[in-house]
Structure 1
Amino acid sequence: MALSRTDVGSRRKLLALTATHAGNDFYTGAVAALLPFFVLHAHYSYAAVAGITLASTALSSVAQPLFGYLSDRYGLRWLSLAGFVLAGAGVALSGILVESYLAVWVVIAASGIGVAAYHPAATMEAREAGGGSNGSMSFFSVGGNVGVALAPAAVVLVVGRFGLAGTLWLMIPAIILGSVYVVATWRDISSPSAKTSVSSSSQAPTLSDSWRLFAWLTAVLATWSIAYVGTSTFISLYATEKFQSSTAEAAVALSVFPAAGAIGTLIGGFLADRFGRLRVIRAGYLLAACSTVAIVLAPTELSLTIATAALGVSLFVPFAAQITLSHSYLPNRIGVASGVTLGLTLSLGGVVSPLLGAAADRHGVWSVFVIMSLVLIAGFALSWILAERRTESSPVEEALTTGKYS
């Protein structure tokens, strides 16, 4: 059956958003990939590089729910593009400013703000384009995994060839993918109807927001965040410390983690639509806890890579389900739900990362993964408090099905 013009436009839009999501999260991955170079070439301590991770997430922690509110209230579709470009600019400048730790901290913080601006607006657009299913959300989400997975290889390539000043070349994805997004979604960006439809739908809520359930979900997501940020920050350093791996060899584990996460995200979206979100979330946390233990016990580099891949798959299996579950808990505040789910909770991991860095400095990097296994077990336990919730009568769902946002 031939696709209607609306179907084709929605698919094109979802593809463009997935591409920019890859680019946006590429810069998050680039920060993690740059950390070993900051240690080796700028002689930063583990605590100092953990502080850089904090820089990329601290302001984002506060800003992302705010950007979500603005997206709910005013539309502001351009936030996704502006945030994407800022995320790229901050990372691109970090390498040439490496002589000043404060300057690096500031530009990485600016990149984090860009990431914060991007996620709520882009997630709302992806939800609109995909009809709100777990499958479509997993497809959009997997773009982020792909971007993070590509970042280590790109960082090794440019920094290995040009030194830390080569980070300027990392601005290229923002320029190219930002242009693709503008071409694919120009009608939506320039249309005033987006603001009108969002505002009008928020004036007549037909299903209440469950802040209690959302608070419990946020607590679960906080444990996910600590595991994600902790692995992204320390897996390369762990490989270097335990097996004396080179920077390029250590980057393999860092690339495998989000690449496996992409597989887990797609699998999780399918399983959540088929078996239910809560089952998928609980299984993911339990398997992730086991995988962190396997990382600690890994006797060889190959086994470490396999354990890291297992952690990537299991940790991301719940990802799309957690996003759509947050939307069901706050059906009248999709932007805020997206901002907290993709921003605030992820940033909580960044806030904890200096503590993980201090543990690594004192006991060795292996201790970080022991801590994360305990945190993931806590997340598994908390997930049993969550409950399923349907939103068939919510204004957002009505808008999606009637085409008010198109």
Structure 2
Amino acid sequence: MWLWATAHAVDDLYQGLVPAAVPYFVLDRHYDYVAASGLTLAATLGSSLPQPLLGVAVDRLRIGWLPALGVAVAGIAIGLSGLAHAYPLVWTLILLSGLGVAAFHPAAGRAARESAGDSAAAMSIFAAGGSVGFFLAPVLATPALIAMGVAATVLFIPPAILIAFVLLRGHRRRKARPAAVAHRAGADRWRPFLVLTGIEVLRSTVFFGINTFIELYWIRQLKAPRGLAGVALACFLVGGVAGTLLGGRIADRFGLVRTVQLGGALAIPTLAALRFTPGTLTPLVFAALAGAALNLPFSVLVKLGQDYLPTRPGTAAGVTLGLAVSVGGLLAPLLGLVAQAHGPQGVLAVLCLIPIPALALGTLLPEPPKPL
């Protein structure tokens, strides 16, 4: 579990590096809000569209080397994006980085579930690795981006190469070991899985929206320095790490579906407080609380998706960890249009409303059958 959690952290570091770098493309390269949102769109196109096909391939072929290749491509491409100057080339490199992210998640999610068995808390360790990666992206990138500009992205290539090497070695060792995964009764249940996917899309829309615009909100609306804006994003993401780990423990005690519903209910007031609390320091608390509320159901949604599709754990992970998460970023250009008209504060106001339909969908989820 810890190997996969670490690999997940490195992989999602590159996904988190995109929103961390977007404000510096705006400030250093003079991109407008729509162009900046287009970079988020490139990352999410690459990481979302291939996910279902990759999940099917993982379930049928068990291509265990795929996570290593994926994380290597993700890191090298995003690292080179800051060196490129033409917008089409930057966009293409970020698209390739997204494709690398897409290659990682299905096989990694399947392997992590085999290690976690039926424990939501154990699965939350793997999921929290991704949240840690998102958190580390602004923490590590912001000082480098302030000092060097967007060219600092090249500094993040070495971790991709290192973890790819470790994963390849681990793949060779795992080939000799039998998989150990909890077996569940019944056939695949596509209807609740589609409802769950809708919840994840809505959750990720808010998550990507805040990731993309929270720094610009602090800089442009609250008139805070760049460093404090990076702290705001870091608070949101470290809250997400805590929420992911806490969600797994709550789910083991009170149930998977109740945890999903609780996350939706808590997201609404914390997002409203983040947007409407005055000052530059007090809203940092609500940034952390909003991150925790949004990520409370994250690992639970991953596990619940695999419980609904017991014969297709790779496909389920590809959707819940990849496609549904990334599709939220596809709405980034629309949020960019809102920002063009009403500023980043308008985006945060819109995002306060999105958890409402997610909470309604949560009432339609059944608890999965118990493992045999």
Say whether residues 1:172 and 2:158 are aligned partners. Answer: yes
For the residue of structure 1 that corresponds to 2:331, the secondary structure is: helix
Per-residue deviation, 1:17: 0.9
Give 1:161 deviation, angstroms.
Answer: 3.5
Alignment of 1:140-159 (within 5 A): 140-159=126-145
SS state at 1:385 partner: coil
Matched residues in 2 for 1:347 and 1:290: separation?
Answer: 24
In the alignment, residue 339 of structure 2 is paired with which amino acid?
A
**Structure 2 counterpart of 1:250, which letter?**
A
For structure 1, which segment, 367-376 or 269-278, has the greater mean C-alpha deviation from structure 2 after superposition? 367-376
Task: Determine whether 1:122 maps to 2:101.
Answer: no
CA distance in 2, matches of 1:61, 1:192: 32
Q: Does 1:84 align with 2:64?
A: no
Alpha-carbon deviation of 1:185? 4.4
Aligned to 2:329: 350
- Structure 1 residues 330, 365: closer, same or farther in 2, change over 3 A? same
How many Å apart are 1:339 and its aligned residue? Answer: 0.8
Match of 2:124?
A: 138
1:329 to 301, 308, 315: 308
Q: Which residue of 1 aligns with 2:22?
A: 35
Deviation at 1:182, TM superposition (A): 3.6
| Cα distance change on mapping 1:295 and 1:245 into 2, 3 Å | same
Residue 175 of structure 1 aligns with an amino acid whose one-letter code is: I
- Residue of structure 1 in register with 2:81 after alignment: 94
| CA offsets 1:150-180 (integer angstroms, 9 cap, x no match) | 1112222333333322221111221233333
Shift of 1:57: 0.5
**Matched residue of 1:300: which SS?**
coil
Aligned-pair CA distance for 1:183? 4.0
Q: Distance in 2 between matches of 1:238 and 1:158?
A: 21
Q: Residue 297 and residue 152 in structure 1: after superposition, are their counterparts in 2 closer, same or farther (change >3 A)? A: same
Larger Rg: 1
Within 2, Cα distance between the matches of 1:163 and 1:383? Answer: 42
Question: Shift in Å at residue 258 of structure 1?
Answer: 1.4
Query: Does the CA-based 8 Å contact 2:28-2:149 persist in structure 1?
Result: no
Q: Which of 175, 198, 210 is 1:231 aligned to?
A: 210
**How much does 1:205 deviate?**
9.6
* Contact 1:207-1:391 at 8 Å conserved across structures: no
Q: How far apart in 2 are the matches of 1:269 and 1:339? A: 19
One-letter amino acid of the counterpart of residue 322, structure 2:
G
- The question of whether the paired residues in 2 share the 8 Å contact of 1:61 and 1:345 is answered with yes
1:67: how far off? 1.0
Normalised by the size of structure 1, how large is the TM-score? 0.88
Q: How far off is 1:372 after superposition?
A: 1.4
Deviations 1:306-352 (A, max 9, x none): 11101011111111111111111111111111111111111221111
Hey, what does 1:398 align to over in structure 2? none
In 2, distance between residues paired with 1:160 and 1:347?
27
Q: Does 1:273 align with 2:274?
A: no
Cα distance in 1 for partners of 2:167, 2:46 equals: 26
For residues 184 and 72 of structure 1, the distance between their equivalents in structure 2, rounded to whole angstroms, comes to 19
- Give deviations 1:226-272, integer Å, cap 9, x for gaps: 11111111111111112222222211111111111111111110000
In structure 2, what is the Cα distance between the partners aligned to 1:277 and 1:65?
Answer: 23
Task: Give aligned-pair identity as a percent.
Answer: 39
Distance in 2, Cα, partners of 1:59 & 1:87: 10
Aligned to 1:288: 267
Q: Residue 328 of structure 1 contacts residue 391 of structure 1 at CA under 8 Å; is this kept in 2?
A: no
Amino acid at match of 1:246: P
Deviation per CA, 1:249-301, whole angstroms, max 9, x where unpaired?
21111111111111111111000000111111111111111111111112011
Q: Does 1:23 align with 2:2?
A: no
Q: Deviations over 1:22-76 (max 9, x none)?
A: 1001011111110110001000011111110010011322101111111101000
1:55 pairs with 2:42: yes
CA–CA distance in 2 between the matches of 1:328 and 1:206? 10
Aligned partners of 2:153, 2:276: CA distance in 1, in Å? 35
Asked whether the equivalents of residues 331 and 391 of structure 1 are also in contact (C-alpha less than 8 Å), the reply is: no
Q: 2:71, 2:301 → 1: CA distance?
A: 23
CA distance in 1, matches of 2:226, 2:92: 25
Q: Is the 8 A contact 1:220 1:382 kept in 2?
A: yes
Q: Partners in 2 of 1:391 and 1:233 — Cα distance?
A: 39
Which residue in 2 is equivalent to 1:160?
Answer: 146
Q: CA deviation at 1:132?
A: 3.4
Question: 2:185 aligned with 1:209, yes or no?
Answer: no
- Pairing partner for 2:52 from 62, 65, 74: 65
CA-CA distance at 1:382 after TM superposition: 1.1
TM-score by length of 2: 0.95
